[in-house]
Structure 1
Amino acid sequence: MSAEIAISDYSNNPTRGGVEKIRFGNVTIFKTSVGEMDNNVYLLVDERAPENSLLIDAANNPNHLRALVGQAGAKVTTILTTHSHEDHIVALPDLLEATGARHVTSIIDAKDIPVPAEQLYGDDEVVTFGQDIPLHTFLLRGHTPGGLCLSLSAADAGVSSQSLADGTPSHHLFVGDSLFPGGIGGTNTDAEFQSLLGDVVKRVFERFPDDTVVHPGHGKDTTVGVERPHISTWRERGW
């Protein structure tokens, strides 16, 4: 029997192998960091239907991820890969076999991911989990040809009006390696940089309010409001 995992309340201070959680209406968001590159993995559980949970980026340490799912009282039926970089898929074959989940990913990046997907997504589509909670998809192009990102709104998660009035954010975004505290994800050419920055501006900063929480593929979370004022600085420095 595996050792019990310590799960703490969200502090935005991830440590490798640690797990933090936050409640967002009917949804509990679990965040853990795995592997030598400290990849973030997110488990989304609708507490009304934990048997239909979703995992974002089966990056590494499959034993830890399986233990997390079990301790959360969940069954993962969908594993979503945000983009094609190898550090985000090390545990994917193991987790797919262990859970029997379907694999879904970006319609653009799929050709570069060595694990087949049952369904491919592009812009403005919907992935569901739990009791048909919708995650709205959008692509951010540049870190890879087309990273698949997700938006979970307070309305769709069943957040109460009182919770919103008390400061619960309006949205949670899961953006892979396309946006971090202090800048966009890494790119190799100016064309890729301009593409990614343009997509982040149009599909994140022009679409979501300041209180939106941004969950990246590594490290700490941030918010749209914290990052939005720095667009011109990012553009000038070119990275």
Structure 2
Amino acid sequence: MPYTGNVEVGGPPDTRDLSGLALTKIAVGPYDNNAYVLRCTATGDQLLIDAANEPSRLLEVLGDRPLGRVVTTHRHQDHWQALQDVVQATGAPVSAHPFDAEPLPVPVAEPVENGDTLRVGEATLEVIHLRGHTPGSIALLYTAPDRPHLFTGDSLFPGGIGGTWGDPGKFKQLITDVTERIFDRLPDETWVYPGHGKDTTLGKERPSIPAWWERGW
């Protein structure tokens, strides 16, 4: 069946070919978190984005292929409930931004900053630092031949940016970063994989940016 990205907790994962990477999206835990497994189709090396919950299900998706890294998009606890178990089972190092590293239950062996790159076998992901939802929130960008693919954590969703809890400074910082580092740079066909819920594209969201600024969240 074609990929939709519409996954539910307790339901099957959804998979797609990203031209060099195989993507598996799975929903886990009481907060309906999305976790993403990226596997290099040439080498079999894997990367996990957000070991959010249900470690046994995540390990099942990983199978017996090597896990080269776990990336945590930000410090909020619902995105790392399974992190310690996955790391213990696989020995994979953890990457996160230094500003969000301290709350995590395992050491961040490979800290990343804006503009850094991460390898998944023969594929490369770019780190984009998006300040506001948390100080160290990051997105990961994979540029495939068909289109860019962007994993945004809780910084960008269908319908708006991530929560900033009524703080005008944090809101301005996040929407500025999302506008300048994502929308001003990437094309409409960019596929967006958020930390919760359904996927979207930048083209679907771009017309709403003025309304986001006006409503302040």
TM-score by length of 1: 0.87
Cα deviation, 1:24-75, whole Å, max 9, x if unaligned, reads 112111000000101000000011111x2100000000011111111xx532
In the alignment, the residues of structure 2 paired with residue 111 and residue 196 of structure 1 have an alpha-carbon distance, to the nearest angstrom, of: 21
Match of 2:73 in 1: 82
Match of 1:135 in 2: 125
In the alignment, the residues of structure 2 paired with residue 14 and residue 214 of structure 1 have an alpha-carbon distance, to the nearest angstrom, of: 15
In the alignment, the residues of structure 1 paired with residue 2 and residue 90 of structure 2 have an alpha-carbon distance, to the nearest angstrom, of: 26
SS in 2 for 1:120: coil
Gaps of 5+ in 1: 1-7, 160-167
**Shift in Å, 1:130:** 1.3
Give the number of the structure whose residues are more often helix, by fraction: 1
SS in 2 for 1:121: coil
Cα deviation, 1:103-149, whole Å, max 9, x if unaligned, reads 11112211232321101111111011112x11011100111112011
Amino acid in the other structure paired with 2:125? L
Alignment of 1:87-236 (within 5 A): 87-131=78-122, 133-154=123-144, 159=145, 168=146, 170-188=147-165, 189-236=167-214
In the alignment, the residues of structure 1 paired with residue 174 and residue 48 of structure 2 have an alpha-carbon distance, to the nearest angstrom, of: 25
Gaps of 5+ in 2: none
TM-score by length of 2: 0.96
Cα deviation, 1:156-212, whole Å, max 9, x if unaligned, reads xxx4xxxxxxxx4x1000110000000000112111111100000001100100000
Counting aligned pairs with the same residue, the percent is 44
In the alignment, the residues of structure 2 paired with residue 115 and residue 195 of structure 1 have an alpha-carbon distance, to the nearest angstrom, of: 28
Answer yes or no: is the 8 Å Cα contact 2:83–2:105 preserved in 1: no
**Shift in Å, 1:9:** 4.2
Matched, 1:55 2:48: yes
In the alignment, the residues of structure 2 paired with residue 118 and residue 101 of structure 1 have an alpha-carbon distance, to the nearest angstrom, of: 9
Match of 2:24 in 1: 30
In the alignment, the residues of structure 1 paired with residue 132 and residue 190 of structure 2 have an alpha-carbon distance, to the nearest angstrom, of: 22
In the alignment, the residues of structure 2 paired with residue 129 and residue 108 of structure 1 have an alpha-carbon distance, to the nearest angstrom, of: 24
> Where do 4+ consecutive residues of structure 1 move more than 4 Å?
none
SS in 2 for 1:44: strand
In the alignment, the residues of structure 1 paired with residue 65 and residue 26 of structure 2 have an alpha-carbon distance, to the nearest angstrom, of: 15
In the alignment, the residues of structure 2 paired with residue 35 and residue 111 of structure 1 have an alpha-carbon distance, to the nearest angstrom, of: 23
In the alignment, the residues of structure 2 paired with residue 179 and residue 194 of structure 1 have an alpha-carbon distance, to the nearest angstrom, of: 14
Amino acid in the other structure paired with 2:143? S
Answer yes or no: is the 8 Å Cα contact 2:28–2:52 preserved in 1: yes
In the alignment, the residues of structure 1 paired with residue 39 and residue 97 of structure 2 have an alpha-carbon distance, to the nearest angstrom, of: 22
Highest Rg: 1 or 2?
1
Counting matched residue pairs gives 215
Name the stretch that deviates more: 104-113 or 38-47: 104-113
